[in-house]
A and B are shown apart, each in its own frame.
Chain A
Amino acid sequence: MKFFNFFTSLKKVLLLNIFIAFLILVSLIIGIFFLYKDTKVVLKEQLFNSLNSVVSSYVKDIDYRDVEKLSNPEMYTSDEYKRVVSTLSKIVNYYPEVSFAYIEKIQKNKEGSEEVVFLADGWSLNPYANTDSDNTNNIDINRDGLISEDDELTYITEIYENAPIKSIKEGYKNIYIDNTFHTDEWGRFITGYAPIKNDIGETVAVLAVDIRDVTFDKILGNISQLFFIFSLVVLGSVLILLSLFLVVFIKKENLNKTLDEEKSLVIGLVGHEMKTPLARIRWLLSAAREELANGDPKVNKHIKEAYDESVKGSDFSKIILDVSRIQFGKLKLNFEKIELNTMVQDIREDVEFMFREKNVLFKNEVPGIIFSADPYYFLLALKNIISNAIKYSHDGGEVVVSAKENKDTLEISVTDSGIGIPKEEREKILSGFYRAMNTKETTGHGLGMYLAYQIIKHHEGELEIYSEEGKGSRFTIVIPKK
């Protein structure tokens, strides 16, 4: 039933977890998507703004009189041309994202229709640099590492085929950013325009600055990459957090389960341990009642046995109380001077019935030693060790209590000639409360020894167990002398 509950609650939490994870993921994805879109828009706008500021600031450096002079291809050696190109070259050199900076103008051709011609280009003072015989002055305009037709330089009054004439016309009026891509023989671009005006405000030509599409995409691409990494990090952290939560939950649930099981195990065992002497007493007294009526002499034996059982039961309940005191850390020791021999003698009287029952010989070989310990608890510890020794003695065996004073310690040994303790049992004695309780042995075995061990530990001592199966055991308490 508990098992079932555990799994249903686990399943519920798992489903809830998945649902929460799903919600968080979806909202994160939506959030990141919008953030990405907004960032892209902001970034685009920023690019347009910078294009705007580039054209509007550099157009001031261009003298319209120089531009007006540029009327035929041969003018490229003139000072006017040099001045204009040097301004334009500043743009292409200072702004790596700018591909071209040039001046163009709209004019009427012989047929009377409009055409666009180039007047100057920022890439070179020499429009023929890439086509002359001198290879040292070549300019790789598209930065692809090769000098090819794509790297064509324009000469003065060269006709601009496929010119975006509509945008250029806008540029004649005002500073204008065409935010749609325009394709010509040099590539695909976004262009910013600024009018070059004369003294009376007439536009003589237009300054144009190009940003290549790949540059644009690269900048936005970098952002996408950043966003992708950012999203992964965020999603990963959320998943890790959720799984951590799940792990903690399962651990806690398991712990609760174990504690519950241990608790009910202890309650069950305590109940059972108390029931055994009660059942014996009931049966013994039932027999005694009839024997009394019949004048049966067995009545004395049975009443004595019932009495002994009641002692066992009350001893057990005392042990349980003491163990629980230790469990909750409430054991407080009151140290007093104790005469060991007297204490052993007292214990002997306490457990007399056990010796008689088992026909075990008790030898008190303790010399006169006075030491410091809690009289109640230390007696309890030693008594439990002695009872244990009797319990595991053969009929007619012997239990010897001896003691030895060292420089700093006192050793008290209880030796029996009993059945010995298997190694795993030995470990159980020194292990935890629950395991000690969980032995199938008779009343108080594991618990009594566990209690003894805990009391000795509270006296800053140790309990050493030597045992040989079939030959007997020796329990030695080693406590510091105070």
Chain B
Amino acid sequence: METKNKHKILLVEDDQTFIDLLRNKCLDSGIEVFVAENGEQGIKIALEEKPDVIITDLTMPIMDGFEFIKQLRNDVWGKKVPVIILSNYGDFDRISKALETGAFYYLVKSDVDQNDVLSYINKAIVESKS
């Protein structure tokens, strides 16, 4: 029962502090976490693992968050998967651009902590199932 119902998320992030803290939080509440350090890796893992929710940073080396979401949305499955953006930028331009990609939530790192992110992940899972 546990393996079948266990939720999976993909975290696309290049900052080790945030990776560690969010991964610990998710693991504690029984969510499996895959980590990609840039958009390119993110696409690969996303299409292989088909996580329930994807959390992505925007500024990353090799492929940034916007390009990652754009490529993700080209996939049939990837079109529907809920994406939460977790960025340090809170400017209007980035937020509106991000929401145009169909992102589920736009979270600013300094405005939330890992507990908040976890509750958004849970919300996204529930809403995408319904």
Contacts and interface: CB of A to CB of B under 8 A. Distances in A.
Given A284-B21, A440-B59, A279 B110 contact: yes
Nearest to A268: B91
B67 interface: no
A275 B110 CA distance: 6
B5 to A, nearest CB: 25
Interface string B3-40: 00000000000010110011011000000000000000
Nearest to A309: B17
A219 B109 CA distance: 88
A100 to B, nearest CB: 90
Interface string B86-119: 0011010000000000000000011001110000
A280 B113 contact: no
Interface in A251-309: 268, 272, 275-276, 278-280, 282-284, 286-287, 305, 309
Given A284-B17, A287-B21, A440-B59, A279 B115 contact: no
A481 to B, nearest CB: 43
A41 to B, nearest CB: 70
A88 B41 CA distance: 113
A282 B17 contact: no
A46 to B, nearest CB: 75
Given A284-B17, A287-B114, A275 B59 contact: no
Number of chain A interface residues as a range: 10 to 19
A245 B24 CA distance: 65
Contact of B109 (A268, A275, A287, A440): A275
A287 B24 contact: yes
Contacts of A268: 91
B88 A282 contact: no
Contacts of B88: 272, 275-276, 279
Contacts of B91: 268
Contact of A280 (B17, B24, B89): B17
Number of chain B interface residues as a range: 10 to 19
Nearest to A301: B20
A280 B115 contact: no
B89 A282 contact: no
A304 B10 CA distance: 28
B20 to A, nearest CB: 9
B23 to A, nearest CB: 11
A120 B38 CA distance: 115
Nearest to A280: B17
B17 A283 contact: yes
A279 B109 contact: yes
Contacts of A272: 88-89
B110 to A, nearest CB: 4
B18 A282 contact: no
A446 to B, nearest CB: 15
Interface in A304-344: 305, 309
A286 B115 contact: yes
B98 to A, nearest CB: 16
A278 B115 contact: no
Given A276-B88, A287-B21, A282 B110 contact: yes
Nearest to A285: B113
Contacts of A278: 110
B29 to A, nearest CB: 12
Contacts of A279: 18, 88, 109-110
Given A276-B110, A282-B113, A284-B17, 5 more contacts: A272-B89, A283-B18, A283-B22, A283-B114, A287-B21
15 contacts: A275-B110, A276-B88, A276-B109, A279-B18, A279-B88, A279-B109, A280-B15, A280-B17, A282-B113, A283-B113, A286-B115, A287-B24, A305-B17, A309-B17, A440-B59
